[in-house]
Structure 1
Amino acid sequence: MKKRVIIWTSVLTSVLTASTTVLGYVFTNKLMYMKKKEDDFILNREITSKRLDEVWFNEVNKTEKWIESKNGYSLKAIFVEPLETKNYVIICHGVTENKINSLRFVRMFERLGFNSVVYDHRRHGDSGGKTTSFGFYEKIDLQAVVEAVRARVGEDAVLGIHGESMGAATTLLYAGSIKDDANFYISDCAFSNFEEQVYNIMRQTTPLRSSLAIRFASLFLKMRDGYTFNLVSPIEVVDKIEKPILFIHSLQDDFILPKMTEALYEKKIGPKTLKLFDIGAHAKSFNENSEEYEQVVADFLLENKLLNK
């Protein structure tokens, strides 16, 4: 009898271990290799929606540039320079998108007196990199882009960083844990805590509901990609950012909840602005409120003496 119990206990343990391993592998695969939108789809979507003017883009002064990341691969960037100015904004796109999606912000910043730099995050568009890390490795890539802009324009340039979704989290992680060297930051619909965000995604896409599953997934992520969920947490570093931050979110966002941006805003010390739009799904604040969005950005820049108007 005792021998039978031992056998069944061993079998049960083996089944649970195997099941946990499979679930951990499958779930971390969904994160590391999240399905991206096709480049042609993004381009056609932006043109059809009239957020990208092909004639303007073909004629505007621009330079394509490869930037080497300390992570060991190249990042594809476009310096869009319609103006004779040392005012520049780096624009960081969200997960599954690419640099073409960032171009919709370029005309806004041009009207506000800034040239722009758009680039592909790792594993997106034309850039290298095997996995998506939601800001952990991306913040190091952003450092390379910042250094490339400073090298091109000069240390006296007025530099801003605008990020949307994962790009916003990357922006905050960069400024809070690597170098707070931009003049301002715009965080549009960032998550505050990646573990909490992953738990929300898990509940939406899997039958799992236990926080234990999150801990297992974090462990698997550490083994497979070198980091854990708690290392991708803008809320832990936002209070270290001294430069002005404009926090933006839409109240209708049900993918990354607006309470995350509110929490980031509350923890930020020093100059900060919060704007919550009534209309717009995730990463759609600009699409649905473009004129008001631009005015909010202009007011933020004026308030912080970064706009000569």
Structure 2
Amino acid sequence: MMKMPSLKPLLIPLTAITAGSALLSYKLFNFAFKRVDYVPATSKEKQKYADQYYDYVDWFHSVPSEDWYLNENQPDHKMVATYIPAKVATQQTVIIAHGYKGNRETMANYAKMFRNMGFNVLTPDDRGHGDSAGDYISFGWLDRLDYLQWIDRVIEHVGVDSQILLFGVSMGGATVEMLSGEHLPDQVKAVIADCGYSSVEEELTYLLKKQYHLPEYPVEPMVSEINKRATGFGLANASSIKQLEKNQLPILFIHGEKDTYVPAYMAYENYHATHAPKQIWIVKGATHAESFWKNPKDYQERIGTFLNTYM
């Protein structure tokens, strides 16, 4: 009878591989999901807009505004937002969702644009960002629940005749896409999502290959399980596509043609998943979150055309 080879020589390297994958997954989770209390430097492509950006930031801090809160007396759950009333009283309000590791200040250019268009503006800090509580970044999935409360606050403040626009860029784009699949008040009229990803799972898998040259397995499932234990949801649940399939609001998708952080094909995935009235604008030559900066006038005009149709 043939003697079976011993498995002992294989167990040590297999154990080492598993341990190595687990350690790598924890490091990636901490890097990607754990809050940081600073805004990372922007990409090289957008450094040339720095002077314009800081002019918008100066405006943001000088314009008349109010601080709004959710769960104000609960330090571990407190959410913070800035409300900027329109120059002329209006019932139209835009709620602006910021990007990954950003905060409400980093959306100053969009806040000024919409205020110039006649809107009240509400810009929250998401969980794990800025002045809001939270140890982890939820990439829009849990944030969408906070935005439901921000919507209610706007209606309470502006009135039952409010007309609300949801707008977001990058992670913020995905946030409003995910939010669009919830049961929303009639006062919410339209959505604009600039360079939002199709799902957290697909975005992480893409970046693992693009930036780290790592395969999806076993790292992504491990990161997903770590996140589930830390925040309560697996990455497959956090899907813009699944939420957009339920969306009933008119939506404009904007995406940079040369986006290598959230590739443009995700915009088409989101567009095709949507059954409500929809438009898509792929901005030639624009990298990630650069569409506004390429030509602010064209950006505002394109948004204005969409709003004139649906809001």
TM-score range, shorter chain: 0.7 to 0.9
Q: Tell me, yes or no, if structure 1 residue 143 matches structure 2 residue 144.
A: no
Deviations 1:238-258 (A, max 9, x none): 021111101100101111011
- Which range moved further: 29-38 or 214-223? 29-38
Give the Å deviation of 1:52: 3.5
- Which range moved further: 267-276 or 295-304? 267-276
- Aligned equivalent of 2:71: 68
User: 2:92, 2:55 → 1: CA distance?
Assistant: 22
Counterpart contact for 1:77–1:118, Cα < 8 Å: yes
Alignment of 1:107-118 (within 5 A): 107-118=112-123
User: 1:236, 1:62 → 2: CA distance?
Assistant: 36
Counterpart contact for 1:65–1:77, Cα < 8 Å: yes
Q: Tell me, yes or no, if structure 1 residue 168 matches structure 2 residue 173.
A: yes
- Aligned equivalent of 1:191: 197
Q: Which amino acid aligns with 2:77?
A: Y
Q: Secondary structure at the match of 1:211?
A: coil
- Aligned equivalent of 2:247: 241
- Aligned equivalent of 1:32: 33
Q: 1:132 to 1:53 in 2, by over 3 A?
A: closer
Q: Tell me, yes or no, if structure 1 residue 130 matches structure 2 residue 131.
A: no
Counterpart contact for 2:21–2:218, Cα < 8 Å: no
Q: 1:28 to 1:50 in 2, by over 3 A?
A: closer
Q: Secondary structure at the match of 1:144?
A: helix
User: 1:187, 1:105 → 2: CA distance?
Assistant: 12
Q: Secondary structure at the match of 2:23?
A: helix
Match of 1:97 among 80, 92, 102: 102
Deviations 1:51-105 (A, max 9, x none): 6456754553311122229996111111101331111000000001111111211
Q: 1:75 to 1:52 in 2, by over 3 A?
A: farther
- Which range moved further: 179-188 or 123-132? 179-188
User: 2:102, 2:48 → 1: CA distance?
Assistant: 11
Q: Which amino acid aligns with 2:141?
A: F
Q: 1:57 to 1:133 in 2, by over 3 A?
A: closer
Deviations 1:104-126 (A, max 9, x none): 11222123221101121111111
- Aligned equivalent of 1:290: 296
User: 1:39, 1:206 → 2: CA distance?
Assistant: 19
Alignment of 1:176-215 (within 5 A): 176-179=181-184, 181=186, 182-215=188-221
Deviations 1:118-158 (A, max 9, x none): 12111111111110010121111211211211111122101
Counterpart contact for 2:49–2:293, Cα < 8 Å: no
Counterpart contact for 2:177–2:193, Cα < 8 Å: yes
Q: CA RMSD in A?
A: 2.8
Taking only the aligned residue pairs, the percentage that are identical comes to 25
Give the Å deviation of 1:6: 4.7
Q: Which amino acid aligns with 2:135?
A: K
- Aligned equivalent of 2:223: 217
Q: Secondary structure at the match of 1:14?
A: helix
Q: 1:12 to 1:61 in 2, by over 3 A?
A: same
Counterpart contact for 1:75–1:126, Cα < 8 Å: yes
- Aligned equivalent of 2:270: 264
Counterpart contact for 1:52–1:103, Cα < 8 Å: no
Q: Tell me, yes or no, if structure 1 residue 281 matches structure 2 residue 284.
A: no
Counterpart contact for 2:260–2:288, Cα < 8 Å: yes
Q: 1:23 to 1:49 in 2, by over 3 A?
A: same
For normalisation by structure 2, the TM-score amounts to 0.87
Q: Secondary structure at the match of 1:90?
A: strand
- Aligned equivalent of 2:259: 253
Segments of 5+ residues of structure 2 without an aligned counterpart are: none
Q: 1:16 to 1:53 in 2, by over 3 A?
A: closer
Q: 1:133 to 1:59 in 2, by over 3 A?
A: closer
Segments of 5+ residues of structure 1 without an aligned counterpart are: none
Q: Secondary structure at the match of 2:245?
A: helix
User: 2:58, 2:15 → 1: CA distance?
Assistant: 62
- Which range moved further: 234-243 or 13-22? 13-22
Q: 1:278 to 1:77 in 2, by over 3 A?
A: same
Alignment of 1:4-15 (within 5 A): 5-15=6-16
- Aligned equivalent of 1:77: 81
Give the Å deviation of 1:297: 0.6
